[in-house]
Amino acid sequence: MLIEAFKRKLTFLVGTSLTTGEKNVITWAGIHHKTSSHGGPHGYPDPNYLDNLWTELAERGITPD
């Protein structure tokens, strides 16, 4: 389903970075991805990740069907 989101151009957008405040940069478009395998706010383990991900994808019209 993440591949479908990418194909539909729902993964990234050009906007203002939430972390640096820089404008006109490539940013995440609201579908959360895990970028660390060592924990922390953007990594595993995260027991709610898949439930949150399915919700974010469904909100954008991407479902397993």
Considering the entire predicted model, what is its pTM? Answer: 0.76
**Pairwise CA distance, residues 16 & 39, whole Å:** 26
pLDDT band at 11 (very low <50, low <70, confident <90, very high): very high
**Pairwise CA distance, residues 41 & 51, whole Å:** 16
pLDDT tens digits for range 21-44: 999 999 999 898 888 888 777 787
pLDDT band at 46 (very low <50, low <70, confident <90, very high): confident
Domain ranges of the chain: 2-59
**Which segments within the chain are labelled E, that is strand?**
12-15, 25-28
Q: What is the CATH number of domain 2-59?
A: 3.30.390.130
Average pLDDT, rounded, for the chain: 90
Q: How high is the pLDDT of residue 13?
A: 94
Are the C-beta atoms of 57 and 5 separated by less than 8 Å? yes
The pair of three-digit structure tokens given for residue 23, joined into one six-digit string:
């404008």
